[in-house]
Amino acid sequence: MSNTEKLDRTKQAFNLTYLQFYGLVLPIAFILLWAIASHLNWVNPKLIPAPFEVVKIAIYQFQQQEFWVGLGASLFRDLAGFVIGSVLAIIFGIVVGVSRWANYLFLPSFNVLRQISLFAWLPLITTFLDYGNSAKILFIVLSVFYPVALHTIDGVRQIPLQQYEVAKVYQFNAWQTLSKLILPAAATQIFLGLQLGLIFAWVATIGAEFLLANYGVGLGNIVIRGRAALDVGLIVFGLIIIGFIGVAWNYFANWAERRILLWRP
Residues counted in the chain: 265
Q: Which phi and psi angles does 225 have, rounded to 5°?
A: -65, -40
Identify whether residues 13 and 121 lie together within a single domain: no
For the full predicted model, state whether its pTM sits above 0.85. Answer: no
Identify whether residues 184 and 93 lie together within a single domain: yes
Structural domain contains residue 146? yes
Predicted confidence (pLDDT) per residue in 220-253, tens digit = 888 888 888 888 888 889 999 999 998 888 888 8
Write out the residue range of the structural domain in which residue 36 sits: 1-43
Identify whether residues 139 and 190 lie together within a single domain: yes
Structural domain contains residue 202? yes
pLDDT of residue 205: 92
Structural domain contains residue 108? yes
Task: Determine the 3-state secondary structure of 135 from DSSP.
Answer: helix
Identify whether residues 111 and 1 lie together within a single domain: no
Identify whether residues 61 and 148 lie together within a single domain: yes
Identify whether residues 76 and 188 lie together within a single domain: yes
Identify whether residues 17 and 122 lie together within a single domain: no
CATH of the domain at 210: 1.10.3720.10
Final residue of a domain: which of 43, 59, 76? 43
Whether 255 and 208 have beta carbons less than 8 Å apart is answered as no
Cα–Cα distances (Å) from 180 to 95, 109, 171, 177, in that order, read 16, 30, 12, 6
pLDDT of residue 46: 75
pLDDT of residue 223: 85
Identify whether residues 164 and 121 lie together within a single domain: yes
Whether 238 and 226 have beta carbons less than 8 Å apart is answered as yes
What's the total number of domains in the chain? 2
Predicted confidence (pLDDT) per residue in 175-193, tens digit = 888 888 888 888 889 999 9
Identify whether residues 21 and 128 lie together within a single domain: no
Identify whether residues 90 and 207 lie together within a single domain: yes
Structural domain contains residue 79? yes
| ∠ CA 69-75-77, rounded to 5° | 100
Task: Determine the 3-state secondary structure of 76 from DSSP.
Answer: helix
Helix and strand tally (H, E) in the chain?
12, 0
Structural domain contains residue 57? yes
Identify whether residues 36 and 62 lie together within a single domain: no
Whether 187 and 155 have beta carbons less than 8 Å apart is answered as yes
C-alpha–C-alpha distance, residues 38 and 34, integer Å: 6
Structural domain contains residue 98? yes
Identify whether residues 156 and 33 lie together within a single domain: no
Structural domain contains residue 265? no
Residue 140: which pLDDT band, with cuts at 50, 70 and 90? Answer: very high
Annotate 173-190 with DSSP letters as a single string. Answer: -HHHHIIIIIHHHHHHHH
